[in-house]
A and B are shown apart, each in its own frame.
Chain A
């Protein structure tokens, strides 16, 4: 199992993501935003949290047009797995790999705290280790996490059961309390909360680690 973690100028969760992948049993390569290819044999690409390119223009907009993101898109088009966390989710929305976008938090505050999430579907490699309806506690740390999509897109996400996680107590104004969504083939996941920050006993709990274990486990048996 081979994972790659993309590093942009301003990424700051890239090494945490690497550790989470490694703890789940993956070999990890770090790839730089100027790289034009994902290393051969990579099963999953992680797009980490942070403030890529200083959040200039719009969060994730410049990163989404960087050379490595063209390679990430091709990887996804080939059926590869892509996990975008926080700024990574914003980048995936900007690339068009996931629908919708993340607006400024409704109350205009940067929010950094552990929040409760409900697992909405276990039908994905990322969430197969959870049971539907599980309540888990994972930290968020963002200023722009207010998920928005037009009504048709939103209805499609719901009817296809592509909402992976929902906030129990919506912190940011996201439509339908959405915290994370899957692509149509369920191989691309974007989420604002940080599972890599609840992946080791010293973090307080390991409810985020389940996501990495499920993913690496599913890919190893596939």
Chain B
């Protein structure tokens, strides 16, 4: 079973990398980009075959390591 975790900076946390990307897009002529937020995607290969159990386990991983919940939010997709 595969899991995909999206980690994003929470709203209200300044994302200077996203801002730098937004500026770069503007200078390439891509106008109309009002905001860019940059995050991470983490893919996991799991031996677990139960979807609910896998999701609970990956959420625990997010809380303990994959995300820093002071500044980041996360979402988990099980495929």
Contacts and interface: CB of A to CB of B under 8 A. Distances in A.
Question: Are A and B co-members of a single complex?
Answer: yes
Interface of A: 57-58, 61, 65, 93-94, 99-101, 103-108, 148-150, 173
Contacts of A58: 68
Contacts of A107: 16
Contact of B65 (A57, A104, A150, A173): A57
Interface in B23-79: 64-66, 68, 70-71
Contacts of B68: 58, 61, 94, 101
Interface of B: 13-14, 16-17, 20, 64-66, 68, 70-71
A100 B13 CA distance: 12
In the complex, the 7 A-B pairs of residues with the closest C-beta atoms, listed nearest first: A101-B70, A108-B16, A106-B16, A101-B71, A101-B68, A58-B68, A104-B16
A61 B20 CA distance: 25
A158 to B, nearest CB: 17
A61 B17 contact: no
B72 to A, nearest CB: 8
Nearest to B64: A65
Contact of A65 (B14, B20, B65, B70): B65
Contacts of B17: 104, 108
Scoring A100, A105, A150, A173 by chain B CB atoms within 10 A of each residue's CB, the highest score goes to A150
